[in-house]
Structure 1
Amino acid sequence: MIGVLVTFTQTDKFDRSTIAKIADELRGPFEGMAGLRLKSFMLAEDGVHARNFYVWDDEEKARAFFTQELVDKVTGVYGVPPEVEFLDVVGLVDNSGT
């Protein structure tokens, strides 16, 4: 498994309702996406950082998803370019099925 942390950093704070609207509008394409185990839309307490966290079953699919075209698209959505970090998931606790 591979995790991907995508961080958007504003000089001003993100509006929570705007991030919630983005999450609501963009969730559909991710539901049932092959190879994607989970995705979360998050806003840091400081309001300056919006983060999306993905867990993928397959590193190749994860890396193929994060194209320059996608980076350009989400830059337009969030208003700032993201930092994309790939992480080796060495363990995962998933209580969603219980």
Structure 2
Amino acid sequence: MIGVLVTFSQTEKFDRSTVAKIADDLRGPFEGMAGLRFKSFMLDEDGMQARNFYVWDDEEKGRSFFTEELVDKVAGIYGAPPKIEYLDIVGFVDNSGT
């Protein structure tokens, strides 16, 4: 299992409603995506960074998803280039089924 944290930073605050609309518009392709266990769209407390967090069942799928083409596309959507961090998930708690 691998986690991927994608961070978009800019000098002005992200508009919360804009980020919420991006999340709503883009959620469809991720629903039922093979290998993707979890994805969240987030905004940090001061609104300066938008973050997306992914949990992939397979490291290869997680890494191969972030092509140069995709990175360019999301940079245009968010108005800022993403910083992509790959994280080794060593433990996971999922309470969604309870």
Q: Which residue of 1 aligns with 2:58?
A: 58
Listed as ranges, the gaps of 5+ residues in structure 2 are none
Over residues 6-61 of structure 1, what are the superposed CA-to-partner deviations in whole Å (9 max), with x where a residue is unaligned?
A: 00001000000000000000000000000000000000011000000000000000
**Per-residue deviation, 1:2:** 0.1
Listed as ranges, the gaps of 5+ residues in structure 1 are none
TM-score (structure 1 length as normaliser): 0.99
TM-score (structure 2 length as normaliser): 0.99
Q: Which residue of 2 aligns with 1:40?
A: 40
Measured in 2, the distance between the counterparts of 1:22 and 1:40 equals 12
Q: Which residue of 2 aligns with 1:7?
A: 7
Secondary structure of the residue aligned to 2:20 is helix
**Per-residue deviation, 1:74:** 0.1
**Per-residue deviation, 1:70:** 0.4
Question: What residue identity is the alignment partner of 1:42?
Answer: M
1:81 aligns with 2:81: yes
Question: What residue identity is the alignment partner of 1:19?
Answer: V
Q: Which residue of 2 aligns with 1:72?
A: 72
Q: Which residue of 2 aligns with 1:91?
A: 91
Measured in 2, the distance between the counterparts of 1:90 and 1:97 equals 21
What is the aligned residue count?
98
